[in-house]
Amino acid sequence: MVNLKASVWRGRKIGLMGGSFNPAHQGHLMISHQALLHLKLDEVWWLVSPQNPLKSKTGMAPEENRLEAACLVAKDRRIKPMLLESALGTQFTADTLATLTRACPTAHFVWLMGADNMVQFSRWRNWENILHTVPIAVFGRPQYSLGAMTSMVAKRYSAYRVQASAASQLASAQPPAWTFIHYRHDPISATQLREAQPASASPAP
């Protein structure tokens, strides 16, 4: 469990990527590396969710297994998979961020997500609270980028968009603030990885 003592993270720029990580894959790793590069982050935390409220429990591996697999994929001391939401007792991103920013008020957190999540972001509980709690970086994904940039959320908050050329300043920006990062796409997804496993295999960690 990460030490949430405020003084430990004072002034640090930390990317937060939530998700089931069922399983973690190279797509997660690519976004993390792009975030470290473009946003000039000190590290990225992978918040392995106990259960994504928008996803089915069917085929969901135990969170300890998903954490273990995520640690094997990360292979970078700056990328830290963790069961933070289980430790905090939170289920929804808005609650997790509210608790985290209260605990570490001098850290600079940025929420990281793929364009596919931006498309459905308005379905998230208290999504506007999220936008007003931390800056957000959205990363392009095949077939979703256009939808993300024309989504209701992108249109409503267009005045708060930070151009990609200034993304290195995002972590220090006053929310609401968001940016869209284009990068070389990795089309792999957790669903494809699970479906590629033999039928007799155990559920993917």
| CATH assignment at residue 48 | 3.40.50.620
**Is 26 contained in some domain?**
yes
What would the pLDDT profile of 33-82 be if each residue is shown by its tens digit? 999 999 999 999 999 998 766 566 667 899 999 999 999 999 899 999 99
All residues at 6 or more sequence positions from 96 whose CB lies less than 8 Å from its CB, including other chains = 18, 47, 84, 85, 88, 90
**Is 3 contained in some domain?**
no
Q: Has this prediction a pTM greater than 0.85?
A: yes
- Tokens at residue 162, please? 């930070």
**Is 36 contained in some domain?**
yes
Task: Say what the pLDDT of residue 83 is.
Answer: 96
Closest CA to 40 of 167, 136, 183: 167
Which domain covers residue 88, as residue numbers? Answer: 11-195
What would the pLDDT profile of 92-122 be if each residue is shown by its tens digit? 999 999 999 999 999 999 999 999 999 999 9
**Is 202 contained in some domain?**
no
Which sign does the torsion angle of CA 156, 158, 162, 165 carry? positive
Q: How confident is the model at residue 201 (pLDDT cuts 50, 70, 90)?
A: very low
Q: How far apart are CA 99 and CA 82, in angstroms?
A: 16
Tally the domains of the chain: 1
Omega before 176 cis (within 30°)? yes
